[in-house]
Amino acid sequence: MKKIRELIPALSPKDIVLFGVGRSGTTWLGQLLASAGLEYVFEPEAYWNFLPHEETRDRKRYPMPHHYLRAGQKTPYDHFFTKALRGEYKNEETVRANPGAKRKVIKVIRMNLMIPWILERVNVQPVYLMRDPMATIASQVSCDFETTVPRLTSYFYQDELFEDHLEPFRDLIEQADSSKGRTSYIEYLTILWCVQTYVARRQGVFDTVHTIRYRMLLLQPYKLLWDIANRFSLDFNFEALDREIAKKSFTTHSLDENHDPLNNWRNVFSDDEVKLIVDIIKVFGLAEYIGSDDLKQQ
């Protein structure tokens, strides 16, 4: 059986950095890319998972997640970010496949507010995975995502971030508190999704970075992976892809074989919760990313 790369022209191979909001399918896409023989570096920005606790408390060396950087901005965290994005943090927590391979796929979900800065500093091939916010937020709710930091202001604390992008939404962000019950938690997660997506769009990320829609990856995986192989010089083979496409992501929480990752959100949210999510998304002007046409028109 011929490999896909034997049928298409070669490009210059580089490490791939995979961006996306948490619970948007990035783990699964990372597994698919790793099946081409790439070392899979999993969330190296989550330093609290693999560095000594005493060390990570030093905020002069390690930033909060979702740190914001302007393109070209100087930062005391330059060494950490660069090392993470080169896949140099390696242990059983971060390396999930093909340790020691010459080429890497590096999956990050907490660096979406600094993508232009990254692409100026690190020579990589970027990919952004976009999933319907309804499905993303439903998946987050189902696995108690981001419950350790109840106030969004703990993440979005930087004056530059508000000055450049978020001032119109300051009141909404400052009152977001996930600890006040289910409705507040859903509101918190929706704003978290909106901020990451809004800032990335304003920074031109979706115009300059190869962006994949999760829906199309799920419905037409071979077509999209063929395009990825062409763009990024990957040596996929059909047997390996068959196995990986059939497998669930190792971070999938549903054990139901009939689980529908596109529409299961309808079983998670009440009508009032759906309206809350859609209203917040529209405040940020991001309704175009909602997958359901009937919700866009509400």
Out of 80-84, 134-138, 151-155, give the one with best mean pLDDT: 134-138
> What is the distance between the alpha carbons of residues 237 and 114, in angstroms, rounded to a whole number?
34
What is the rounded end-to-end Cα distance, in angstroms, of the chain? Answer: 49
Q: For residue 3, name the pLDDT band (cuts at 50, 70, 90).
A: very low
Read off the pLDDT of residues 165-184 as tens digits, 9 standing for 90 and up: 999 999 999 999 999 999 99
SS3 92: coil
Identify the architecture of domain 4-250+260-296 in CATH. Answer: 3-Layer(aba) Sandwich (3.40)
Is residue 1 predicted with pLDDT exceeding 70? Answer: no
- Residue 261, pLDDT score: 85
SS3 40: strand
Strand partners, 151: 177
- Mean pLDDT score across all residues of the chain: 89
- Residue 74, pLDDT score: 92
Taking each helix axis as running N to C, give the angle between helix 271-283 and helix 133-142, from 0 to 180 degrees, rounded to the nearest 10: 120
Contacts of 96 (CB under 8 A, 6+ apart): 30, 31, 34, 40, 41, 42, 250
Is residue 2 predicted with pLDDT exceeding 60? Answer: no
The mean pLDDT of 270-276, rounded to a whole number, is 97
- In the chain, the percentage of residues whose pLDDT exceeds 90 is 70
- Residue 292, pLDDT score: 83
Domain boundaries, the chain: 4-250+260-296
- Residues 178 and 146 sit within 8 Å (Cβ to Cβ): yes
Token readout for 216 is 């199309």
Q: For residue 7, name the pLDDT band (cuts at 50, 70, 90).
A: very low
The mean pLDDT of 185-201, rounded to a whole number, is 98
- Amino acid residing at 80: F
- Residue 36, pLDDT score: 94
The mean pLDDT of 109-113, rounded to a whole number, is 97
- Residue 243, pLDDT score: 86
- In the chain, the percentage of residues whose pLDDT exceeds 70 is 89
> What is the distance between the alpha carbons of residues 298 and 296, in angstroms, rounded to a whole number?
6
Read off the pLDDT of residues 47-100 as tens digits, 9 standing for 90 and up: 888 777 667 666 677 888 999 999 999 999 998 999 999 999 888 889 999 999
Lowest pLDDT segment from 4-8, 62-66, 242-246: 4-8
- Amino acid residing at 34: A
The mean pLDDT of 230-246, rounded to a whole number, is 86
